[in-house]
Amino acid sequence: MGKKLNIGLFGFGVVGQGLYDISVSKNLNFEFKKIAIKDPSKKRTLPESLFTTDKEEILNDPEINTIIELINDAEAAYEIVTEALKKGKNVVSANKKMIAIHLKELVAFQEEYGTSLLYEGSVCGSIPIIRNLEEYYDNELLFAISGIFNGSSNYILSKVFNENQSYDSALKKAQDLGFAETNPILDVGGYDPKFKVAIAAAHAYGIFVNPDDILNIGIQNLNNNDLKYAREKGQKIKLVPIAKKLNEATVGIYVLPKLVSKDDFLFNVENEYNGVSVQAAFADQQFFFGKGAGGHPTGAAVFSDISALRYDYKYEYKKAKQNLGLSLDNNVGIEVYFRFNSAELLKEINFNDVSESYNSKNYNYVVGTLTIAELIAKKEIILNDGAFVAETGKREVNH
């Protein structure tokens, strides 16, 4: 059965409740000792004695040997997780922002204090991509990891593209269902998948990247002209993060909408589902598919981590320890569909070349190649213009 886990749980929202629902249906050797919450006045289904608003009551309890962190606040989560690791408690977290920002030091804390931090639920909900990158692909040469990492934005795109719903109504429905964050820009702006792909890249390539250095442009400026363009090409629009090896020294990582064709696995990934494509030298291309949003899918990933801790499982970070010397390179060039409103904006963007252009009173676009670095430098003026950028997936020039 493995060792007994006495659990202190932080957060009892959608994922916390989902985790509890799953755990009570299993006869495993662990027990929820205390649950930390923010609002003690909120009606709950469990006994009041199980809850506390004092985090130290959990962190200082010598009987509690495992901490589950499921709160929204990244900085508060960081304080909880680091204190727990330093006190010799193992931790499971689903906080992608906190992990992406602090991963390098969190790895060091685990080494120093002999503890384990697991976070399968932080990337792609129910899809076990972190464990696979750690174990199955530990000695593989990976060319790229890409896919749909955000169920909320994919749900919105599915409703808009397939059912002709308005963007605003699809967003509201995603929030009502608990898929989208309270602040929707975290999802539709590509921040959430940026944190997730940064975590995945650490396990795939052993590279710890500051998320601030990764381009993220989302679907917040999507309009009907963009949908029409994709339909005419027989394509769909998906929000796709990618981490790919460019050469022996560099990796490219970015998040952009992408025009995907029918022969792409992502074409048929709809609603709150996620899909992860791994392109490897020996295993070739493999595809993982599953729910990426919702309490039970993410709760299932957290539950899997808890189960692993019963047998003292920990990530080995093999590729990071190999010290491959890889670094992020934003000089990778890609071909994009670039729809804009102001002709002045186009003068500000340094395209390497333009292969197609269209101009009318209400609709203007170009198709051309530019670098990720150029998109990072001009991101603010692009978004302020209401412009929409999507990778075509056709051409790529590293430098």
- The 10s digit of each residue's pLDDT in 114-124 is 999 999 999 99
**Interatomic CA distance for residues 384 and 110, integer angstroms:** 42
List, as own/partner pairs, every contact residues 170-175 make where C-beta atoms lie below 8 angstroms and the sequence separation is at least 24, other chains included: 174/272
Grouping H, G, I as helix, E, B as strand and the rest as coil, residue 219 is: coil
Output the pLDDT for position 25: 66
- The 10s digit of each residue's pLDDT in 248-259 is 999 999 999 999
Q: State the average pLDDT over residues 124-136.
A: 91
pLDDT at 396 over 60: no
Compute the mean pLDDT over every residue in the chain, rounded to the nearest whole number. Answer: 92
Q: What is the DSSP string of 128-193?
A: -HHHHHHHTTTT--EEEEEEE--HHHHHHHHHHHHH---HHHHHHHHHHTT-S-SSTHHHHTSHHH
Percent of residues, the chain, with pLDDT higher than 70? 97
pLDDT at 292 over 80: no
**Interatomic CA distance for residues 320 and 14, integer angstroms:** 33
The residues, any chain, with a CB within 8 Å of residue 100's CB and separated by 6 or more, are 194, 195, 196, 198, 199, 211
- The 10s digit of each residue's pLDDT in 166-188 is 999 999 888 888 777 778 899 99
Output the pLDDT for position 209: 97
Output the pLDDT for position 24: 73
The residues, any chain, with a CB within 8 Å of residue 324's CB and separated by 6 or more, are 205, 206, 207
User: Please, where in the chain does CATH 3.30.360.10 lie?
Assistant: 139-289+325-397
Largest CA distance in the chain: 69
The model carries a pTM of 0.94
R_g over Cα of the chain: 22
Ranking 101-105, 284-288, 296-300, 369-373 by mean pLDDT, the lowest is: 296-300
pLDDT at 397 over 90: no
Is the backbone of residue 274 left (phi > 0), alpha (psi -120 to 50) or beta? beta
Output the pLDDT for position 70: 94
Q: State the average pLDDT over residues 325-340.
A: 96
**Interatomic CA distance for residues 165 and 254, integer angstroms:** 28
Output the pLDDT for position 86: 97
pLDDT at 351 over 80: yes
Ranking 55-59, 189-193, 301-305 by mean pLDDT, the lowest is: 301-305
* Length in residues, the chain: 399
Output the pLDDT for position 1: 57
Percent of residues, the chain, with pLDDT higher than 90? 77
263 band by pLDDT with thresholds 50, 70 and 90: very high
Active-site residue list: 196
Contact predicate 270/120, CB 8 Å: no
Output the pLDDT for position 155: 94
Output the pLDDT for position 398: 45
Output the pLDDT for position 399: 40
Burial of 266 (C-beta count, 10 Å sphere; 0-12/13-18/19+): buried
pLDDT at 85 over 50: yes
Q: State the average pLDDT over residues 90-97.
A: 96
Torsion of CA 182, 184, 186, 192, to 10 degrees: 90
Q: State the average pLDDT over residues 364-373.
A: 97
CATH number of 5-129+296-321: 3.40.50.2300, 3.30.2290.10, 3.40.50.720, 3.40.50.300?
3.40.50.720
pLDDT at 395 over 80: no
Tell me which CATH code domain 139-289+325-397 carries: 3.30.360.10
pLDDT at 294 over 80: no
Contact predicate 198/241, CB 8 Å: no
Q: What are the backbone angles phi and psi of residue 195, rounded to the nearest 5°?
A: -65, -40
Query: Looking at this protein, which amino acid is placed at residue 377?
Result: A
Structure-token match 């309890």, residue found: 61
Enumerate the β-bridge partners of residue 67.
Answer: 8, 91
Q: State the average pLDDT over residues 265-274.
A: 94
**Interatomic CA distance for residues 292 and 294, integer angstroms:** 7
pLDDT at 92 over 50: yes
- The 10s digit of each residue's pLDDT in 134-143 is 998 887 789 9
Structure tokens at 309: 């801790």
pLDDT at 280 over 60: yes
**Interatomic CA distance for residues 151 and 239, integer angstroms:** 10
Q: What is the DSSP string of 16-75?
A: HHHHHHHHTTS--SEEEEEEE-S-TTS--SS-GGGEES-HHHHHT-TT--EEEE--S-HH
